[in-house]
Amino acid sequence: MADLVRTPIPPFFYSVHRLISQLLIKSSLE
């Protein structure tokens, strides 16, 4: 896990992470 934190996050992975977090927030609000 520490190695993953040190390495720069690819834009694709970051966008996917944002999408998932937004979906989680929407589902929790509903």
Interacting residues of 16 by C-beta distance below 8 A, sequence separation 6+: none
Q: pLDDT, tens digit, for every residue of 4-20?
A: 566 677 888 888 999 99
The answer to whether residue 23 scores a pLDDT higher than 90 is yes
Residue that has been written with the tokens 């589902």 in this structure = 27
> Residue 12: what pLDDT?
85
Residue type (1 letter), 1: M
- CB neighbour class for 3 (10 Å; exposed up to 12, middle 13-18, buried from 19): exposed
Interacting residues of 10 by C-beta distance below 8 A, sequence separation 6+: none
> Residue 3: what pLDDT?
62
